[in-house]
Structure 1
Amino acid sequence: MKKVLVIEDNRDVRENIVEILELAKYTVLAAENGSIGIQIAKAELPDIIVSDIMMPGVDGYSVLETLNEDENTAGIPFVFLSAKDKREDIRKGMSLGADDYLYKPFEAYELLDAIKLRLKKSDFLQRKFSKTTQGINSFFKSASEYLGMELLSKNRKLQEFSSRGEIFQEGDAAHNLYFIEEGSVKTHRVTESGKEMVTGMHGKGDFFGQLSLLNKSGTYLETAVALEKTRLLSIPKGDFTNLVYKDREVSNKFLDIISDSMAHLQEQLVDIAYSSVKQRAAKALLELHDKGFIQDSKQKGVDILREDLASMIGTAKETAIRALTEFREQGLVGVGKKRRLILLDRSKLQRIADFG
């Protein structure tokens, strides 16, 4: 059963709230003032707190402020009870992180509805979703239930592409976000000088195409090509838009799931500006190893074009080849069938990536 902490200095009101919640099958903790409420909250970690604002000594605002300073209690949903109906009180409470307000006197169903909604929100936000097709579909289902409407379609199709098959081209109308269930994908752009610049090497569990869906022109900003037999889950742009713009909490949750590649792109730009070619080459090889493009065995991995590796590093092909040759001579990497790269000494390569 969910645990509710009620902080209310008026005995009659407090006992009435406790009775309503116990009849609704909640486990209820009660405190007659803010100080005791803080102690109970830290000791019991309730699922939600319902607190009066105007109380002698420590008021409701101070209770919320104090609990927000403790990482163990900062995320507990908080509902204020108030005899006032003033905008400044609402603004102050919301600025402190309150989730909802109830004005006295209130009906039992109003209290129960507010608690049910906030617990539902809390459960959704705390739930972890795996980066698998099943996990993504579970997220969409939970997000639809949380939003309380069938906003999200069920048209998330699995598509298969053969090696070197084009998924979309730079300038095409952007209709989908893609999730890699199996396989690997390279994304690249063409510079003004006509050279190909690799913008990403994506493996199983990665998303790509999200920046294009946020592009005002409505077109893909890059070209995507499968590097081997690849299976993708396509997420329609309409679903993406609803998740990003319909509700702030859902948006934050969704962006947290798909944001890895955005952060990685930013990191790449910093590396190009400040790291040596040798460091960037080591980082690129480690990244490719982490994503399964490079293996420790001659039988596995993906054929990485030296032009693509050079583009990832942000240097000329000849310079990239010289860095690879140096790594081979040091016994850090090898070359297997079809010129596939093999990682031989990860720890030494990591030291080069970290310290040059």
Structure 2
Amino acid sequence: MKTILLIEDNELIRENTAEILELAGYDVTTAENGKLGVEQALAQRPDLVICDIMMPVLDGYGVLNIFNQNSQLAGVPFIFLTAKTERTDMRRGMELGADDYLTKPFDETELLSAVTGRLNRFRHLKPDYDLQAEGLNEFLEDAKQVANLESLSADRKVHLARKKQDIYVEGDEPARLYFVKSGRVKTVKTTGAGKELITGIYNPGEFFGYMALLEQTPYSDSAVAVDDSELVYIPKQDFLQLLTRNPEVGQHFIRLLAGRVSEREQQLLDMAYNSIRRRVADTLLRLHAQADLALPAIQLSREDMAAMIGTASESLIRTLSEFKQAGFIEVTPKSIRVLQPEKLRSAHW
């Protein structure tokens, strides 16, 4: 919910304006003079300020000057509210950096139109989006405003993929980007000898299927649901718009994807140069880090884990047995629990 700071010395106007804004869904804080308004803004930075000009203690021009000079408040959208209509007053306000000007008396439509226009114009991408919560929708909505992507799909319904269901198959033409809302998805590649190699495990809050979209080539691997999973589809056209229409949006979107790319590169390097024990240990540590408090144990079949590491199931089972005897892990038929991650990480294999 967007926060609006309303600074107005007339109690009736202040209360009526605040009520209109609250009915429109905004969180409104009020102040009866400029000094109190600045103090409230410093305590909680508002998303937008509506400020009367002629006020006791500190007038609207003084408030705007303080906002412009304070790094914590600079850049907040600012709308002047005044009964004065002289062009010199309007010009002075705009020269100081006001974003809009409303003349009293105003009607509800004028007020809400000015507020909506300022908020949309000054919308920015957040430094971070929590993709495991509702961060994907937040990012897409912010990107839509920042980059003026009116054609960005509003259909973000969740698609269910049953356990072991193919999501796409090696050789298919890419049509969309995939986002894991719940469950897990693995991408696998089959060698000429028929051996399966897992190229990635994707957990809630992660994207997959983007490499083929970027390279504009058919999928080089297949994607299969490890568990019953919920997926969000982002159409290819939307994916390309997010990357290319606006530099800020494109760079932010790439950062959301980049972590998985670097992890994949590291996985391939580990498979090429590390011993089987080191590879198993690193994979266990990575899966352990991805586990949560509700499900701290690693639940992945021995076949899938062996394919992820790039080894035979027999070699994996033998190595897990060694780790168990050393007290590093606890093993059950369906799960593995890392007991001593630091020792597993520092052991020399």
Which bracket does the TM-score occupy, shorter chain normalised? 0.5 to 0.7
Residues 296 and 342 of structure 1 are in contact (CA less than 8 Å); yes or no, is this contact kept in structure 2?
no
**Equivalent residue letter for 2:320:** L
Q: Which residue of 1 aligns with 2:135?
A: 135
- 1:304 is matched by which residue type in structure 2? S
Establish whether residue 347 from structure 1 lines up as the match of residue 342 from structure 2: yes
Question: 2:301 maps to what in 1?
Answer: 304
Listed one character per residue, the Cα deviations across residues 321-351 of structure 1 (whole Å, up to 9, x for unaligned) are 32212112112223224x4323232232222
- Tell me the CA shift for residue 315 of structure 1: 3.1
Cα pair 2:285 2:341 within 8 Å, conserved: yes
The amino acid across from 2:208 in the alignment is: F
- Quote the offset at 1:277 in angstroms: 2.1
Q: Check whether the contact 1:199–1:312 (CA below 8 A) recurs between aligned residues.
A: yes
TM-superposition CA deviations, 1:267-300 (whole Å, max 9, x none): 1123233433212111101112222399977xx6
Contact (CA 8 Å) 1:293, 1:301: kept in 2 or not? no
Structure 2 alignment gaps of length 5 or more: 6-36, 39-58, 77-93, 100-114
One-letter amino acid of the structure 2 residue matched with residue 194 of structure 1: G
What SS does structure 2 have at the residue aligned with 1:27? helix
Residue 315 of structure 1, aligned match among 311, 317, 321: 311
Alpha carbons of 1:351 and 1:141: their partners in 2 closer, same or farther (altered >3 Å)? same
Q: Give the whole-Å Cα distance in 1 for the aligned partners of 2:202 and 2:321.
A: 25
User: How far is the alpha carbon of 1:30 from its aligned partner?
Assistant: 10
**What SS does the aligned partner of 1:259 have?**
helix
- Aligned pairs (5 A) from 1:131-170: 131-132=131-132, 134-170=134-170
State the distance in 2 between where 1:325 and 1:283 align.
16
Give 3-state SS (helix, strand or coil) of 1:198's partner: strand
Residues 158 and 273 of structure 1, relative CA distance in 2, 3 Å threshold: same
1:212 aligned residue: 212
Q: 1:47 aligns with which of 71, 74, 93?
A: 74
Within 5 A, what are the aligned runs for 1:100-115? Answer: none
Q: What does the per-residue CA deviation read over 1:147-191, in whole Å, with 9 as the maximum and x for residues that have no partner? A: 224131112221112211111111112122111111111111122
SS in 1 for 2:263: helix
In structure 2, how many angstroms separate the alpha carbons of the residues matched to 1:123 and 1:268?
38
* Structure 2 partner of 1:266: 265
Match of 1:86 in 2: none
Q: C-alpha separation between the residues in 1 aligned to 2:126 and 2:73?
A: 14
Counterpart amino acid of residue 152 in structure 1:
L
Report the residue type matching 1:245 in the other structure.
T
Say if 1:295 and 1:343, in contact at 8 Å, map to a contact too: no
Q: Which sits farther off after the overlay, 317-326 or 197-206? A: 317-326
- Equivalent AA in structure 2 for residue 233 of structure 1: V
CA distance in 1, matches of 2:279, 2:211: 24
Given that 2:67 and 2:74 are in contact with CA atoms closer than 8 Å, whether structure 1 keeps it comes out as no
Deviations 1:23-61 (A, max 9, x none): 799732599xxxxxxxx78xx456359xxxxxxxxxxxx
Structure-1 separation of matches of 2:268 and 2:66: 52
Superimposed CA distance per residue, residues 49-103 of structure 1 (whole angstroms, 9 cap, x where no aligned partner): 9xxxxxxxxxxxxxxxxxxxxxxxxxxxxxxxxxxxxxxxxxxxxxxxxxxxxxx
Structure 1 residues 295 and 170, CA, compared in 2 at 3 Å: closer, same or farther?
Answer: farther
| Residue 215 of structure 2 corresponds to residue 188 of structure 1 | no
Asked if 1:27 corresponds to 2:64, the answer is yes
C-alpha deviation, 1:245, in angstroms: 1.1
Q: How many percent of aligned residue pairs carry the same amino acid?
A: 31
Specify whether residues 186 and 294 from structure 1 end up closer, same or farther in structure 2 by C-alpha distance, changes over 3 A only: farther
Match of 1:325 among 321, 324, 340: 321
2:67 and 2:161 map into 1 onto residues whose CA distance is 60
* Counterpart residue number, 2:178: 178
Please say if residues 180 and 205 of structure 1, whose CA atoms lie closer than 8 Å, have aligned partners that are also in contact.
yes
How many pairs does the alignment contain?
267
With over 3 angstroms needed to count, the CA separation of the structure-2 counterparts of 1:327 and 1:147, relative to structure 1, is: same
Alignment-derived partner of residue 243 in structure 2 = 244
TM-score under structure 1 length normalisation: 0.63
1:193 is displaced (CA, Å) by 3.2
| Superposition CA RMSD, Å | 3.9
One-letter amino acid of the counterpart of residue 316, structure 2: A
Does structure 2 retain, via aligned residues, the 8 Å contact 1:295–1:301? no
Deviates more, 1:148-157 or 1:287-296: 287-296
Residue 233 (structure 1) shift: 1.4
State the alpha-carbon separation in 2 of the partners of residues 198 and 156 from structure 1. 28
SS of the residue 1:233 aligns to: strand
Q: CA deviation at 1:237?
A: 1.3
For the residues of structure 1 that align with 2:74 and 2:67, how far apart are their CA atoms? 13
